[in-house]
Structure 1
């Protein structure tokens, strides 16, 4: 029920904004993996806008970005496709990668 929803105190943030280190991490991921594609994730009540990069084998990483436009500029600069996750969904190779990691951790 909306009556019991807590509002954060003014000036108090549960999340932080994108930093240069976030873009540096994303760029390193693109440069060290094959077949990387970017997927934009919308802002939520918990996190700011994020971009998830997914390599050909399903390995992935996620970082904050200032907005969708910044992520598209980033993708264009590095020559990788940028998709809206709300339109295309998460690729199967990412789910397969997560499942392989889960099984490996259980052994």
Structure 2
């Protein structure tokens, strides 16, 4: 048994238990948002395949997708379009949403500092 085999075994077992919770979270998120699309992110050395759900207003969330096959099944289960982020990139509305949130946080910080 290799040095990291126990860690991998524990992580893979945990991933199986959390997958149902991730799917339920994604279902709720889709139900609560309008115009949701999924963007599949590739596996990296740090994370497994993930999916980013992006709503029409640019709000987004990210969860594990259960590998490539799991990411593609999301389209059927959630009845939303699924895109490969390596081919189409992230939507502009997602970047705009992040920029708005950053500005809001900066303004809140300034107000807090000015009010102290």
TM-score normalised per structure 1: 0.85
Matched length: 99
Give the distance between the partners of 2:79 and 2:65, measured in 1 at CA. 17
Aligned CA-pair RMSD: 1.5
Q: Which structure: larger Rg?
A: 2
Query: In the aligned structure 2, how far is the partner of 1:64 from the partner of 1:21?
Result: 10
Selected match of 1:12 from 7, 10, 25 = 7
C-alpha distance after superposition, 1:49-79 (max 9, x if no partner): 1000000000000000211221221212222
Higher RCO, 1 or 2 (CA under 8 Å, sep at least 6)?
Answer: 1
List runs of 5+ in structure 2 lacking aligned partners: 108-116
Structure 1's unaligned 5+ residue stretches are 1-7
| Greater helix proportion | 2
TM norm structure 2: 0.78
